[in-house]
A and B are shown apart, each in its own frame.
Chain A
Amino acid sequence: MRTIIGILLTCDPAVKQILLSMNEKHSFIIEDLDDHHLVIKADEEYRVRKELEAELEKNTYSLE
């Protein structure tokens, strides 16, 4: 038996795909659990959140 410390991310499948592609550039995923869950390195959470937000922000348009 093994234990790994990490952070469990719960998300929708679309966000998971974005995370997977982010992982190719800079690896941070420890374990891919299922469609909605991932375990990532604990110290990467802040960076991942920032990067994900920037990625999602690309898909929104504002009239202003």
Chain B
Amino acid sequence: MPVAQPYVYAENSTTVETPHALLPFLQSQSQSTLTRLYQRPSSCLSIFRLLAPLERQLVMNLLWLESAIQPSTMGAWVIREGKKIYEEALTNLSRLHILPNPTAKLALNGTFKTSFRQALTGGGTSGSFGVPAEPDDKRATPDIEALDGYALERWETILHYMVSSGTGQHPTKPSQGVLFLLDRSGLMGSFHGSPLQITSAGFQFLLHTPHEQLWDLLLQYLHLAEERQMDLVEVLGFLFMLSTMELGREYSTENLSGTQKAMLEDLRDYGLIWQRRPSSRRFSPTRLSTTLTSSSPPLPTSTGTSSGPQEGFIVLETNYRIYAYTDNPLQTAVLNLFVSLKYRFPNLVVGSITRDSVKKALMNGISADQIISYLITHAHPQMRKNNPLLPVTVQDQIRLWELEKNRLKSQEGYLYTAFASQADYKFVLDYAKELDVVLWENSSKRCFFCSLDGHTNIKGFIERRTMVANP
């Protein structure tokens, strides 16, 4: 039986699928950028994989049509309840310029159509899916296990560096490029020349799934690429190319453009690709990159590597005790953000969620919802038998602790008081309301409180009025 949400202020977490993080970025690009991107079959396929199911359905329906069809023809399929979702899908596609002008006629962007057809049926020699390197008899291609180990090591180095910054430990530093990106993205920051420290955004980042984290960083990379005057089409095209490559295969760098060759170094630092030597003329994508646009997990699922179990490992009891079956230092460090840890065994960490530990997390900018969603995503399979999954008492208490922190809300501004007449009061108040700067009002006391930035406008307004009244 579903449990009623006990607190109105706890936001209802709906299960509506949010669009992929990359799509808003693509939608903000100009039509010419996108059209150039659509010349690459691999990009079309990757973007198609990022779309929502309904959008994919629409694209597939239109893909093999030679001529445009009337919007009414397609509209006849849509039942009344689905109308809104259908319209939204059309808008999204038109913003991506996949479906230009959906109100007049429905036809796919010509470039997109040609390339996507090519992606599905093969043919063409554009090499947009990467050119496999000639097999080298002297050196064996790296096996998948080694690639997974490499990707994991790189990725966990980044996360571990973030989580242990400021705790006095000194884990291995990621490369300068990564540090710069972390700094620029606001996930870490340095205050007054001190070494990099994790920020509140960084703490939230740590609780995301690896796939989200990866795209978060890549989006930052894309923004940075824009500033560095790198050609976005080349950058995006390369990421999409990687996402369609085959794990465990070597590809040649010869067909890559200058921009893309420069990217090799950055992507090597993030663990997205592997190269024998920096100067090597071949590279292998790791699982991090081949799953960029798919729903499979970006980090290896086998437990043979140094990492802890990938499926859930946390058991949470009604008495706030938490048992985490892991030996992974990263997972332990993340738990340490909001749990007070008690004992540690070779494969088990025991702690409890206390008021102080949650308060510490809240102070770091982590929200109660994030803690709860982290616990839910990483719950042990045994916990999945429970309904609701987490003990309600614990969930509620975490939310209550968060509310306790927000008992006092403060807003800076000006108090307007001692008006001569009700008419004067109403006159000024109406103007302030129009500007939407009134934070509090009371007409019987004839006073109101307006925000700081509204004050100058209101002051100017009153001065103008008095000038008119007493010239």
Chain A residues within an 8 Å CB radius of B404: 56
* Contact string against B for A residues 1-45, beta-carbon threshold 8 Å, 1 for contact and 0 otherwise: 111111111111001000000000000001101100101001001
Shortest CB distance B220–A (Å):
33
Q: Which residues of B contact A62 (CB under 8 A)?
A: 354-356
Within 8 A of A (CB), among B434-467: 439-440, 442, 445, 447, 449, 455, 459, 462
A12 touching B407 in the complex, CB below 8 Å, given contacts A1-B418, A1-B420, A1-B424: yes
CA distance A1 to B422 in the complex (A): 11
B26-81 interface (Cβ within 8 A of A): none
Q: Considering the chains assembled together, what is the distance between the CA atoms of A5 and B420 in angstroms?
A: 19
With the chains together, A38 CA to B455 CA distance in Å? 19
Contact check, A1 vs B416: say whether CB atoms are below 8 A apart: yes
How many Å lie between the Cα of A45 and that of B445 in the bound state?
A: 25
Least Cβ–Cβ distance between B451 and chain A, in angstroms: 9
A34 to B443, CA, bound (A): 12
CB nearest neighbor in A for B416: A3
Cβ of B419 within 8 Å of any chain A Cβ, yes or no, is yes
Interface residue? B409 (CB, 8 A): yes
| Shortest beta-carbon distance from A10 to chain B in Å | 4
B146 contacts the other chain (Cβ, under 8 Å)?
A: no
Binary interface profile of B, 393-416, with partner A (CB < 8 Å = 1, else 0)?
000000000001001111111111
The smallest beta-carbon distance between A12 and chain B, in angstroms, is 6
A49–B363 Cα distance when bound, in Å, is 14
Whether the Cβ atoms of B356 and A11 lie closer than 8 Å is no
B415–A39 touching, CB < 8 Å? yes
Q: How near does chain A come to B317, taking the closest CB pair, in angstroms? A: 15
CB-based contact B417/A15 at 8 Å: no
Q: Contact: A33 with B413, CB < 8 Å?
A: no
Contact indicator B355/A30 (Cβ below 8 Å): no
Bound CA span A15–B406, Å: 11
**Are B410's CB and A45's CB within 8 A?**
yes
- Chain A residues with CB under 8 Å of B439's CB are 8
Tally A residues with Cβ within 8 Å of B. 27
Residues of B within 8 A of A52 (CB): 408
Contact among A2, A9, A33 for B409, CB-based, below 8 A: A9
Give Cα A34 to B284, complex, Å.
Answer: 67
Is A6 in contact with B407, judged by CB distance below 8 angstroms? Answer: no
Residues B355 and A60 in contact, CB atoms below 8 Å apart: yes
Q: Which residues of A have CB within 8 Å of B415?
A: 3-6, 8, 30-31, 39
Q: Which residue of A lies closest to B421 (CB)?
A: A1
Name the A residues within 8 Å of B417 (CB-CB): 1-4, 31
Given A1-B420, A34-B442: A10 and B409 within 8 A (CB)?
A: yes
Docked complex Cα distance between A27 and B205 (Å): 42
B449 nearest in chain A by CB position: A8
CA distance A37 to B411 in the complex (A): 11
Minimum CB–CB distance for B350 against chain A, Å? 15
- Which chain B residues lie closer than 8 Å to A15 at the CB level? 407-408
How many Å from the CB of B230 to the closest CB on chain A? Answer: 44
Distance, CA A26 to CA B96, complexed state (A): 60
- Name the interface residues of B161-177: CB closer than 8 Å to any CB of A: none
Given contacts A1-B424, A62-B356, whether A6 and B414 have CB atoms under 8 Å apart is yes
Measured in the bound complex, the distance between the Cα atoms of B455 and A18 in whole Å is 30
Shortest Cβ distance from B38 into chain A, in angstroms? Answer: 51
In angstroms, Cα B379 to Cα A23, docked, is: 48
Selected from B356, B409, B419, the residue in CB contact (under 8 A) with A1 is B419
Report chain A residues within 8 Å CB of B354: 62, 64
Indicate whether A6 sits within 8 Å of B413 (C-beta atoms), given known contacts A1-B418, A1-B419: yes
A56 in contact with B410 (CB, 8 Å): no
* CB within 8 Å for A8 and B440 given contacts A3-B455, A31-B417, A39-B449: yes
Residues of A within 8 A of B416 (CB): 1-3
Knowing that A9-B409, A10-B408, A56-B407 touch, tell me 10 more A-B residue pairs with CB under 8 angstroms. Answer: A1-B417, A1-B424, A3-B455, A3-B459, A4-B414, A8-B440, A12-B407, A34-B442, A60-B355, A64-B356
6 A-B residue pairs with Cβ-Cβ distance under 8 Å, sorted by A, are A2-B418, A6-B412, A8-B440, A10-B408, A11-B408, A56-B407
